[in-house]
Amino acid sequence: MPANTPLSELGERISRLQQAMARKEISAALIYQRADLFYFSGTAQEGYLLVPSRGQPRLLIRKYLPRAERESNLEVIEPLTGWEQLRTATLESLPPGAGGGGGLKEKLGLELDVLPARLYLRLKKLLPELELVDLSPAIKQIRAIKSPYEIALLRRAATLSAKMFKLARKIIRPGMTELELASRLEAFLRSRGHQGAIRMRGFNQELFYGHLLAGESGALPSFFDGPTGGPGTNPSYPQGAGYRKLLPDEPILVDFVTVLGGYMVDQTRLLWMGNLPRELHRAYLTAREIIRSLVPLGTAGTDSRILYHRACQLADRAGLGDYFMGHDLKINFIGHGVGLELDELPVITPAINFTLREGMVFALEPKFIFPGRGAVGIEDTFLVSPAGLESLTHD
């Protein structure tokens, strides 16, 4: 079981946040979203982290204070008894003389990409003296650079992921259902510390461990923002493993997220019993070639769009471009940041240039979707280094 996040680690994170606040002339920040709260405070208990532009943060806990005091190494942790206390604490955190009338309003930074509208309106009414501004882009950019402490936790998760895939190869057999194989792998991970929940920041996005899809299931789209979907068990949760039996000579895609100590790695391996059809096997080899080609390109300072375009070039060269990252419903990325959440920065997409920086961690997932036949591909989680991409996940 990992120890509490060290105070030195929390201090560095908060310092980076305060530097970003200073650049945007934000006087204070209220951190509420659970992953962000854990990142900056070391606890996920219900409450707010109040971060002034300078000085110590205050962790205001509504529920449950004794656990927050055990879990967080921050120096100022206090109970939150009501809205008026939150108002008073926020105004006290402003620079001297701020918060009064007559001049420009001081800025209060919030996570407006995820904050519920009802809470935003409540805070706006509670703090009319302040201008509520979006601090979420800065928070996501800070979290995109992993510290050595975080990378060590990611390596632990990657080690467990490799053990899970070793088990999958050992126990797979014809006649098992997708659910049967998925549940055995999930139990293996859970018994070794997997937290179960896969946190995602995107609204209405959710995932349970990952996708285990056999044959045509791998080509069934869903609402999920990724190349695969799958049938799931019922229309209320229409993704992931279903009741289909595993058969010889078809692709079985195991795309699982392994989480330890809050930090996750995303890894996909393709399994099959017997022989894959020739075109699908060629797609599998092409996916492996794409990963090998992108590893030396992903150096610090690189435009992330280079990786996307290179992957598409290789898929087209193999005559498989029509199936790359979807068929009728293509997605426009081949990689996504991971950490405390599955959908962190950077995103490897043609739409936005993310300049790769040392310490960024993201998953690359070149996949091919063949309607009626299934999904083929691989996925590994990589760390950006000066020499290229270092694979954290391994077989």
> Cα separations (Å) of 121 from 26, 84, 125, 128?
19, 15, 6, 10
Confirm if 377 and 362 have CB atoms less than 8 A apart: no
Confirm if 364 and 287 have CB atoms less than 8 A apart: no
Residue 395 has a pLDDT of 86
Question: Which CATH class name applies to 145-391?
Answer: alpha beta
Domain boundaries defined on the chain: 7-143, 145-391
On the question of a common fold for 7-143 and 145-391, the answer reads no
In the sheet that holds 106-110, the strands lie side by side as 77-79, 58-63, 46-52, 28-31, 106-110, 130-134
Residue 98 has a pLDDT of 63
- Residue 117, C-beta contacts closer than 8 angstroms, at least 6 positions apart: none
Q: Which of 212, 64, 151 is nearest to 391 (CA)?
A: 151
Evaluate the CA torsion angle 305, 351, 335, 281 in order and state its sign. negative
- How many CB atoms lie under 10 A from the CB of residue 89? 17
Distance CA 94, CA 131 (A): 12
> Cα separations (Å) of 267 from 74, 120, 343, 382?
34, 36, 14, 10
In this structure, are strands 388-391 and 380-385 parallel, antiparallel, or unpaired? Answer: antiparallel
The tens-digit pLDDT sequence of the chain (395 residues) is: 567 999 999 999 999 999 999 999 999 999 999 999 999 999 999 999 999 999 999 999 999 999 999 999 999 999 999 999 999 999 999 988 665 555 679 999 999 999 999 999 999 999 999 999 999 999 999 999 999 999 999 999 999 999 999 999 999 999 999 999 999 999 999 999 999 999 999 999 999 999 999 999 999 999 999 999 999 999 999 999 999 999 999 999 999 999 999 999 999 999 999 999 999 999 999 999 999 999 999 999 999 999 999 999 999 999 999 999 999 899 999 999 999 999 999 999 999 999 999 999 999 999 999 999 999 999 999 999 988 999 999 98
Confirm if 385 and 262 have CB atoms less than 8 A apart: no
Is domain 7-143 in CATH 3.40.350.10, yes or no?
A: yes
pTM score, whole prediction: 0.96
